[in-house]
Structure 1
């Protein structure tokens, strides 16, 4: 018996994303060329949406989706617990997906949710604003949690670039080349306040050469760090990993070896904090005697370290619960974004500069 074609098969054959196929087949917006190509491939492969899919399109599913980069990450697990608790109290099913921090995998999962008529979604985004626009246009109610999608890179017209150069020569600032941000509510922690408090605490201990290790989605935390440190800013003390544990370790180890003069580090997340602890141990750096360490995120193992880690705690479970409340209450009304407070929990990983 021949294998039945899936929406992913159609997408691959047509050279488009799953979300685009779903949009075309449901009568959504698409260019004439794309629509024609998708319909031709669907006919050629004899693609037929399942009976379940047809039934779901006739009514709203009543469920919601949740997309996170990594379910094994302690913070994301806490956030998911909050979403599930709120959904459970409302009698709503939740479809959970792990994107692996990959924008393409994220888009594929969004397309699958659209095909299943899951019209409400909570996401810790991995893709940029441009990759999320199709889901918003398709009518999906989205709430971002923990972070916001990055603005897409802007390809400037050469003529505009030349004009901007002239404006700079005349001492005038050119207008920012940036598309209008997505109008999507979010539930995030007060990154600016949390990072500022961490830097202020380290400054109070006498530290001046403070480094920051960031990862995907940590743009706001890095910006807050730059603001808190002020001028003169040493950009070599700000490094990023790609999201994996190996990359985080490489970033931390490289930082410690290239800048032996640094005296303190702020890690932008728990994976990065773990990497900084491991790298310091491998390089025989004593915490806090040789280097002080503050980690953004309070996770159970932070208290079990030797010494226990000073952290900026953000309310992961509450963040998930509030995001689920927003998406459940949408009802066509514009919801306000929520900023939750952070707390500096002082333990034993920071000491005075020696």
Structure 2
């Protein structure tokens, strides 16, 4: 008996990505040429995705999909542990995937979950709303955790799909529509505001923010907290890798010797800030004060221990799995969990660094 064709087989034969195949087969955006090519290949391979859609709409198949950007990140590990704990108590198997904070890879994993008839998913999203439309159209129940899909991203990503869409005459980017999907989030706004107020109380005025993927809400909260007009040179973003985080932190310290405090938007970024400060012979907190978003075990082991904005990572995962697995006739609402500023030894009073500019 021949092996049944998969969505990956269709993508390879059509010369597009799995994300494009998912969009075409679920009625999403694609150029006429791309749509015709994908549908022709799907027919030739006798690929029948509609069975999956009917299966998901008509009955629960059981199981939970869990997608996170990086399992080596302590926070995402805590989130995953919380989701696994609830799934275990509910007797549900879990399909766990790491997206690498790559929207294209996330799209591929969504397609594979659809192939496996996994009908409920908890995800820390990396892509935009368009990335998740195929899953929602197929009847998948989704709850986002920690963050929401980015707005206005290129639905074809930065890979071959994007090039094909450009060749087909489609615009490379357009605003994505917000998704009506519940989420479990930490109160980023309150956490960032509390941290900035604390640093302001110590006399700091030139405060920087070091962000990463999915930190749009935190960056906006930072801008609100420091007040208009925000110094955009003090708001720096890295990609998801540790090398990128270190380069961003090091570049920030070297390009702005007048800054006296940094709010790092996550534990990988906080680690990078500590390492970069050490390499540049900047003393914490005498030369630069540091607040890190996320309370992870190593934060207390630093010298000095780091002041942190603690968010309940395990609770976020647990509540997200609870919402997605207990969804009934009533659609769950988004849940916002509190954060807490834990003051340790990494923040000191201004003035900080030798040679810093005149206090604003």
Alignment partner, residue 202 of structure 2: 205
Q: What is the Cα deviation at residue 15 of structure 1?
A: 3.6
Which of 20, 27, 30 is matched with 1:29 structurally? Answer: 27
Which of 212, 225, 230 is matched with 1:215 structurally? Answer: 212
Does residue 329 of the first structure (1) align with residue 326 of the second (2)?
Answer: yes
Q: What is the Cα deviation at residue 242 of structure 1?
A: 1.0
After TM superposition, the score normalised by the length of structure 1 is: 0.85
Alignment partner, residue 264 of structure 1: 261
Contact 1:256 1:280 in 2 (8 A): yes
5 Å-filtered alignment, 1:47-126, equals 60-126=60-126
Q: Distance in 2 between matches of 1:10 and 1:294?
A: 48
| Alpha carbons of structure 1 residues 24 and 267: separation in structure 2 relative to 1, 3 Å | closer
Q: Distance in 2 between matches of 1:337 and 1:72?
A: 27
Q: Distance in 1 between matches of 2:48 and 2:120?
A: 24
Contact 1:83 1:323 in 2 (8 A): yes
Segments of structure 1 that go 5 or more residues without pairing to the other structure are 155-176
Q: How many correspondences in the alignment?
A: 328
Contact 2:10 2:38 in 1 (8 A): yes
Does residue 189 of the first structure (1) align with residue 217 of the second (2)?
Answer: no
Does residue 279 of the first structure (1) align with residue 284 of the second (2)?
Answer: no
5 Å-filtered alignment, 1:234-249, equals 234-249=231-246
Contact 2:245 2:268 in 1 (8 A): yes
String of CA shifts for 1:37-95, please: whole Å, max 9, x gaps: 3343245456689xxx8997785321010000001100000000000110111101110
String of CA shifts for 1:139-161, please: whole Å, max 9, x gaps: 1111000000111259xxxxxxx
Does residue 345 of the first structure (1) align with residue 342 of the second (2)?
Answer: yes
After TM superposition, the score normalised by the length of structure 2 is: 0.84
Contact 2:82 2:317 in 1 (8 A): yes
What is the RMSD computed on CA atoms of the aligned residues? 2.7
Q: What is the Cα deviation at residue 33 of structure 1?
A: 6.4
